[in-house]
Amino acid sequence: MSTSADKSPHDDRDSGLTRGERLNNERDLNREAELDREGELRRDRNQGRDAVPDGEASAERAQHRADTPSDRVAERDRESVVAREKHIYGGMKIGSAFFGWLTATGMGVVLTALVAAAGTAVGLSTGVNPDEVAQSLNQDPQTVGMVGIIVLGVIVLIAYYCGGYVAGRMARFDGMKQGLAVWLWALVIAIVVALLGWIGGSQFNVLAQVNSFPRIPVNEGDLTTAGIIAAVVVAVVALVGALLGGLAGMRFHRKVDKAGLDVV
């Protein structure tokens, strides 16, 4: 019967060598794992250098994000929010259109003064009597008349574009309706002033007294076919300018809504 005292020192040395081999094997395995990880990191870095540039990669990631279902849901949510706000606060705003008409009137006066200061002989300079302008048209209608109508059309277009823009910015929604309301304000004011002048006399004809206000360069007392055509053209130009300005003013708020409601 053998006991622990019967074991030789050689057996102890053998068992010690076996534990050392196991430790060495574990260290080798750990070293191989570290080498594998370092190799993977180097491959990843090399692949990153060979990949598309950062700008293109960012664009691809942005496109991927835009195509994800969550972003499409966010887009629908933004549209629904804007539609709900438009349903509540949309429509033609008379107050905003009135301030737009004031802007158009003021801009028309400023532009007319600039044209007069530049010495443009189109019958819009300060102190020019409409009768004198009519005589100029009768003498050379193809030069003075056409130039005057063109310059007047440009002034009216810019002035009512500014007026429509102000109304569209103030109202936020329905830019074309706001531009139309600005034009309607101008039409109503012109009709009221004309009625006052017809009933009360020339002292109530405010537009005729304010020579710096842009008017069609024809004799109001002798309305001809050319004068009617010029009036219609200028009215259409004013309407187009007001509608375009209203759309431009509304577009600013759509940019704000997109920036504020989109998911970053």
In terms of DSSP H, where are the helices of 51-174?
54-66, 69-89, 94-117, 130-139, 146-171
Q: Cα 48 from chain centroid?
A: 39
Distance from C-alpha of 262 to C-alpha of 74, rounded to nearest angstrom:
7
Distance from C-alpha of 179 to C-alpha of 165, rounded to nearest angstrom:
8
State the pLDDT at residue 4: 46
Distance from C-alpha of 219 to C-alpha of 78, rounded to nearest angstrom:
54
The position carrying tokens 């709900």 is 84
3-state secondary structure of 111: helix
Instruction: Give helix then strand counts, H and E, for the chain.
Output: 9, 0
Distance from C-alpha of 100 to C-alpha of 174, rounded to nearest angstrom:
14
* pLDDT score of 161 more than 70: yes
Helix 146-171 vs helix 225-261: crossing angle, to nearest 10:
30
Distances (CA, A) of 138 to 99, 204, 228: 38, 28, 16
Burial letters for 169-199: b for 16+ Cβ neighbours within 10 Å, e otherwise?
A: bbbbbbbbbbbbbbbbbbeeeeeeebeebee
Distance from C-alpha of 241 to C-alpha of 182, rounded to nearest angstrom:
10
Greater pLDDT, 135 or 226: 226
Helix 225-261 vs helix 69-89: crossing angle, to nearest 10:
130
Distance from C-alpha of 85 to C-alpha of 171, rounded to nearest angstrom:
12
Q: Cα 8 from chain centroid?
A: 96
pLDDT digits (tens, 9 = 90+) for 29-80: 777 777 777 777 777 666 655 544 555 545 555 555 545 555 554 555 666 7
State the pLDDT at residue 51: 47
pLDDT-derived band of residue 261, with 50, 70 and 90 as boundaries?
A: low
Is-contact 155 115, C-beta < 8 A? Answer: yes
Distances (CA, A) of 219 to 88, 127, 134, 203, 231: 47, 15, 5, 17, 12
* pLDDT score of 186 more than 60: yes
pLDDT-derived band of residue 165, with 50, 70 and 90 as boundaries?
A: very high
3-state secondary structure of 212: coil
pLDDT digits (tens, 9 = 90+) for 92-145: 888 889 999 999 999 988 888 888 777 654 444 444 434 444 444 444 444 446
Is-contact 110 155, C-beta < 8 A? Answer: no
Biggest CA-to-CA distance, the chain: 148
